[in-house]
């Protein structure tokens, strides 16, 4: 079996802040194969973006990896010298951020900004960088790319700025693309066009991609596999079709029930009671335990079972399982 392009294995990560140590990730594992799109889904604050920043080697200085490993195409990213990881960024792996106007420099033309990437990571000269920047804009379907290359970000729409960010990320033809909420703040039509473009380019170039999103329908339509995160844990992974047809973790089922869908009334949309736990506090092995309608006594003390391969779940009482003599200790209907 071929080695994954991105392999996050048992990653634990914490932030040391003035208000205490935030245990942001605990024993997180997922893989992205070559040519595959993996969706990383969950509520805001579940650890999706932090996982991506760790993979790119761009964590805040307060962040510290305490266990586990990240490997890109067999190369260790965790523990590697910064100069070695920096060689991967742009050339081997690239990232699209969720706020294109923030990601772009407001006082430089978009063509110059793409040219910077090409000169630093793609070996282009100043002259060839200009021409290749125009080509990059054309590849992401920007009309009149030569004129747009001379434009500043404030002269472009939000959707156009996101296309510029995609062009910048893909300019050096990376093997791995990380998309952090790439459609945030865009209207529905533009969202669909941006995601269709990302998927098309990934398929066309054979890139692996990690799509970070809280939009489960977007993940279902776009991704080959999905990993569900809650409070710094990966709680379920599987093929997108299988996970949506038969979720096994109670949190995954609650997320799906809370997602608006065509034909579903507002009354039919569920809500997940409670909030994410305080990651500075002492936590039980299962961080979903206080919100879970299927919680058992073992959830307070026993380590979570391993995720496993295929359709994996980290839960002592997954859906479809009914342990003898055990009862749920949290009743959401009464909450």
The kind and range of the H/E element at 221 are: helix 216-222
pLDDT computed for residue 6 by the predictor: 96
pLDDT computed for residue 332 by the predictor: 42
Contact call for residues 65 and 11 (beta carbons, < 8 A): yes
| 188-205 and 158-170 helices, crossing angle to 10° | 10
pLDDT computed for residue 111 by the predictor: 95
3-state secondary structure of 39: strand
pLDDT computed for residue 334 by the predictor: 34
The vertex-189 CA angle with 188 and 193, nearest 5°, equals 115
pLDDT computed for residue 322 by the predictor: 58
pLDDT computed for residue 321 by the predictor: 67
pLDDT computed for residue 192 by the predictor: 87
Which among 290, 286, 226, 298 is positioned nearest to 256, based on CA atoms? 226
- Tokens representing 197? 């473009």
Give the total residue count for the chain.
335
Report the C-alpha gap between 208 and 296 in whole angstroms: 38
Which among 285, 286, 290 is positioned nearest to 275, based on CA atoms? 290
Which among 9, 6, 26 is positioned nearest to 95, based on CA atoms? 6
Cα 166 to Cα 27, 170, 223, 274: the distances in Å are 31, 6, 18, 37
Q: Which residue has the tokens 């909450």?
A: 335
pLDDT computed for residue 232 by the predictor: 96
The vertex-249 CA angle with 207 and 208, nearest 5°, equals 5
Q: φ and ψ at 11, to 5 degrees? A: -75, 125
Sequence spans of domains, the chain: 102-173
pTM for this entry: 0.89
- Tokens representing 166? 């995609």
Q: Which residues of the chain have pLDDT under 50?
A: 324-335
């Amino acid at each position: 079996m071929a080695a994954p392009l991105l392999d996050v294995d048992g990653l634990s990560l914490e932030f040391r802040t003035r208000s205490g140590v935030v245990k942001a990730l605990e024993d997180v594992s997922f893989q992205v194969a070559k040519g595959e799109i993996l969706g990383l889904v969950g509520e805001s604050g579940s650890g999706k973006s932090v996982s991506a920043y760790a993979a790119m080697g761009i964590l805040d200085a307060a962040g510290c990896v305490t266990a586990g490993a990240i490997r890109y195409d067999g190369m260790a990213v965790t523990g590697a010298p910064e100069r070695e990881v920096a060689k991967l960024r742009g050339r081997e792996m690239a990232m699209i951020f969720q706020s294109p106007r923030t990601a772009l420099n407001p006082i430089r033309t978009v063509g110059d900004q793409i040219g910077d990437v090409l000169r630093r990571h793609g070996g282009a000269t100043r002259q060839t960088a200009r021409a290749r920047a125009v080509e990059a804009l054309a590849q992401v379907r920007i009309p009149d790319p030569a004129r747009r290359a001379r434009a500043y970000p404030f002269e472009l729409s939000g959707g156009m700025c996101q296309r510029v960010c995609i062009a910048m990320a893909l300019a050096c033809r990376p093997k791995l693309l990380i998309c952090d909420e790439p459609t945030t703040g865009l209207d529905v039509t533009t969202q669909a066009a941006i995601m269709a473009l990302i998927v098309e380019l990934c398929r066309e170039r054979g890139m692996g991609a990690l799509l970070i999103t809280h939009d489960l329908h977007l993940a279902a339509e776009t991704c080959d596999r999905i990993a569900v995160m809650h409070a710094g844990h990966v709680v379920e992974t599987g093929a997108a079709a299988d996970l949506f047809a038969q979720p096994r973790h109670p949190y995954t089922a609650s997320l799906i029930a809370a997602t608006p869908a065509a034909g579903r009334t507002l009354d039919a949309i569920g809500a997940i009671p409670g909030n994410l736990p305080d990651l500075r506090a002492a936590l039980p092995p299962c961080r979903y335990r206080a919100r879970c309608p299927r919680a058992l006594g073992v959830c307070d003390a026993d380590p979570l079972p391993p995720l496993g391969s295929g359709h994996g779940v980290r839960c002592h009482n997954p859906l479809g399982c009914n342990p003898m003599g055990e009862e749920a200790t949290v009743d959401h209907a009464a909450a």
